[in-house]
């Protein structure tokens, strides 16, 4: 009888120990699985679309055609390439301004994030640039312009999202040119502080 009692105590202790170990192992495995899932989820999210960094995430269809001497004679949408209207997009940290000019450079109309209704810091976001481009593209289509060239300048957050907005409306964008000005001279040093 005494031996049987000792056996029960030992078996009970072993069972309790195994249950504790299993519970801790399962809890540890669950936590590891959650951390792995979170890492995978964070890697799968698109990166923040800010300025030129957003060009990595852009889903704009591209094809490798570089201009040559015959590009001016190319006929697109019933017009020669050199006679197509040009959409100028100027992006900065604070605003995005879009205008359209004819082939000679005469401006037709202009639109910006401030005109669209965005105020203060919201004017400098990529969402404001995209909605501005959508409204601008609709106005272009109402005027009968559907095939355009795009010239973009500046390094603001609205660079790629404004082109996406123009594509969403249904404009046929033939070429995209980056005309951002680059200064090769270093900035002048600040005046020395006087104490």
pLDDT value of position 80: 86
Mean confidence (pLDDT) of the chain = 78
pLDDT tens, position by position, 43-56: 776 666 555 555 55
Q: What is the mean pLDDT of residues 3-24?
A: 51
CATH classification code of 51-178: 3.30.420.80
Q: Is the pLDDT of residue 5 over 80?
A: no
Q: Is the pLDDT of residue 37 over 70?
A: no
pLDDT value of position 7: 46
> Per-residue confidence at 26, pLDDT binned at 50, 70, 90?
very low
pLDDT value of position 138: 94
pLDDT tens, position by position, 63-75: 556 667 777 777 8
Which parts of 60-191 fold into alpha helices (H)?
A: 113-116, 126-143, 159-169
Domain boundaries of the chain, sorted by first residue: 1-45, 51-178
Distances (CA, A) of 191 to 110, 187, 188: 39, 12, 9
In the chain the first and final C-alpha atoms are separated, in Å, by: 95
Give the C-alpha separation, 153 to 150, whole Å.
10
Q: Is the pLDDT of residue 12 over 80?
A: no
pLDDT value of position 68: 72
Give the C-alpha separation, 52 to 49, whole Å.
8
Report yes or no on whether pTM surpasses 0.75: no
> Per-residue confidence at 32, pLDDT binned at 50, 70, 90?
low
Of 8-17, 64-73, 181-190, which range is least confident?
Answer: 8-17
Contact at 8 Å (CB) between 164 and 192?
no
Contact at 8 Å (CB) between 173 and 150?
yes
Of the chain, the percentage scoring pLDDT greater than 70 comes to 67
Give the C-alpha separation, 106 to 98, whole Å.
14
Of 4-8, 72-76, 185-189, which range is least confident?
Answer: 4-8
């Amino acid at each position: 009888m005494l031996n049987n009692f000792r056996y029960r105590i030992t078996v009970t202790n072993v069972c309790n120990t195994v249950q504790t170990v299993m519970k801790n192992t399962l809890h540890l495995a669950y936590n590891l699985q959650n951390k792995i899932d979170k890492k995978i989820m964070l890697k799968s999210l698109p990166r923040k679309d800010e300025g030129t960094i957003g060009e990595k995430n852009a889903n704009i269809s591209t094809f490798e055609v570089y201009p040559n001497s015959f590009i001016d004679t190319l006929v697109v949408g019933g017009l020669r390439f050199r006679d197509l209207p040009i959409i100028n997009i100027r992006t900065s940290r604070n605003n995005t301004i879009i205008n359209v000019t004819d082939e000679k450079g005469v401006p037709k109309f202009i639109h910006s994030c401030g005109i669209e209704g965005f105020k203060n810091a919201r004017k400098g976001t990529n969402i404001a640039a995209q909605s501005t481009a959508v409204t601008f593209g609709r106005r272009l289509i109402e005027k009968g312009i559907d095939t355009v060239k795009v010239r973009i300048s500046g390094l603001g957050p609205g660079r790629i999202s404004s082109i996406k907005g123009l594509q969403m409306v249904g404009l046929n964008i033939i070429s995209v040119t980056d005309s951002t000005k680059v200064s090769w001279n270093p900035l002048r040093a600040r005046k020395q502080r006087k104490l």
